[in-house]
């Protein structure tokens, strides 16, 4: 057995699924093993261990957090030990995934108002540079908090895009549209109207999935359709509103040119709603 993963494999062997006390040891061992792998083997060894063990570690944490409903207090304890955006640990790839799952579960089963404020705030604190790509992708589940009574998901998404973090907002837009298609179209409209937002058609790419399936691809290693009863429902008027927004706010010549690359009828959007006032 390679020495870099010895602490992790021992912790996994000793862990019992659903036992929270075991998870603390697994997270500590995960952090230690990943750090050692990076120091000794670099990025290739890091990716090897992630591919081999990440799913199992996520599964253990998820099982411990949900064995009797969602234990938010337990998750908060884990996050307090390994906070986002600090860059001094390797546990965000695990914790962001589990928090994202629980945010989605809670919205669907209980309503958005039951999502703890801190859980959504945690997701906004995850960064690519400090927490890694796996965590960053999962953190876009922040979008499932749209309509939350305390957390301004749409306002924060627009603000992040206007401040140059459009990639983050694109992922959030996808999740917002899964959770509330009408709100997704509204967010798209705000983004396209903002003079500080650069992209336009790229945002449409992130809205296609909710028009074709009921759940997003992230968080990883999760099959939500096996445990959640949920369907994305997109009324005709919402679909038409999307075409109206796109037609009115994007150059019609661009829409016609890229029509074949999108599932949406951009040519009709240009013909029926397009303006001749674009530069």
pLDDT in tens, 230-257: 999 999 999 999 999 999 999 999 999 9
Mean pLDDT of the chain: 94
Q: Is 226 within 8 Å of 144 (Cβ atoms)?
A: no
pLDDT score recorded for residue 41: 67
Give how far Cα 161 sits from Cα of 101, 155, 196, 198, Å: 24, 10, 8, 9
% of the chain with per-residue pLDDT over 90: 86
278, pLDDT greater than 60: no
| Burial label, 62 (beta-carbon count in 10 A; 0-12, 13-18, 19+) | buried
The answer to whether 58 and 94 are in contact (CB under 8 A) is yes
CA gyration radius, the chain: 21
pLDDT in tens, 21-66: 999 999 999 999 888 877 776 777 888 888 889 999 999 999 999 9
Residue 216 has φ and ψ, to the nearest 5°, of -75, 165
pLDDT of residue 81: 97
CA–CA distance, 129 with 115 (Å, rounded to integer): 26
Q: Write out pLDDT tens, residues 189-219.
A: 999 999 999 999 999 999 999 999 999 988 9
pLDDT the model gives residue 38: 79
Q: What is the pLDDT of residue 275?
A: 73
Q: Note the Cα 220 to chain centre separation in Å.
A: 10
Query: What DSSP state is assigned to residue 263?
Result: S
Residue 12 binned pLDDT confidence (cut-offs 50, 70, 90): very high
What integer pLDDT is reported at residue 276 of this predicted model? 61
Q: What is the pLDDT of residue 117?
A: 98
What per-residue confidence (pLDDT) applies to 39?
76
pLDDT tens for residues 137-171? 999 999 999 999 999 999 999 999 999 999 999 99
- Is a pLDDT exceeding 90 seen at residue 80? yes
Contact 124, 154 (CB under 8 A): no
The helix, strand and coil proportions of the chain, stated in percent and rounded to the nearest 5, come to 70, 0, 30
Q: Residues 71-89: what's their mean pLDDT? A: 96
**What pLDDT shows up at residue 114?**
99
């Amino acid at each position: 057995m390679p020495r870099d993963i010895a602490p992790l494999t021992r912790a996994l062997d000793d862990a019992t699924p659903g036992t929270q006390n075991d998870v603390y040891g697994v997270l500590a061992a995960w952090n230690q093993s990943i750090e050692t792998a990076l120091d000794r083997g670099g990025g290739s060894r890091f990716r090897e261990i992630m591919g081999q063990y990440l799913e199992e570690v996520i599964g253990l944490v998820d099982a411990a957090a949900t064995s009797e409903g969602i234990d938010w207090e337990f998750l908060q304890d884990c996050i307090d030990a390994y906070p986002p955006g600090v860059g001094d640990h390797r546990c965000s790839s695990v914790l962001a995934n589990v928090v994202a799952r629980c945010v989605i579960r809670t919205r669907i089963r209980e309503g958005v108002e039951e999502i703890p404020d801190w859980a959504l705030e945690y997701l906004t604190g995850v960064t690519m540079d400090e927490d890694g790509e796996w965590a960053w992708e999962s953190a876009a589940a922040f979008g499932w908090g749209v309509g939350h009574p305390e957390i301004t998901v749409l306002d924060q998404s627009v603000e992040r895009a206007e401040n140059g973090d459009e990639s983050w907002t694109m992922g959030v837009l996808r999740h917002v549209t899964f959770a509330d298609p009408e709100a997704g179209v509204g967010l798209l409209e705000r983004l396209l109207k903002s003079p500080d937002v650069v992209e336009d058609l790229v945002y449409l790419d992130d809205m296609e999935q909710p028009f074709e399936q009921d759940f997003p691809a992230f968080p990883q290693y999760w099959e939500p359709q096996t445990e959640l009863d949920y369907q994305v429902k997109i009324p005709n008027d919402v679909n038409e509103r999307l075409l109206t927004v796109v037609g009115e706010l994007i150059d019609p010549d661009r829409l016609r040119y890229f029509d074949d690359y999108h599932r949406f009828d951009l040519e009709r959007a240009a013909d029926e709603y397009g303006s001749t006032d674009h530069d």
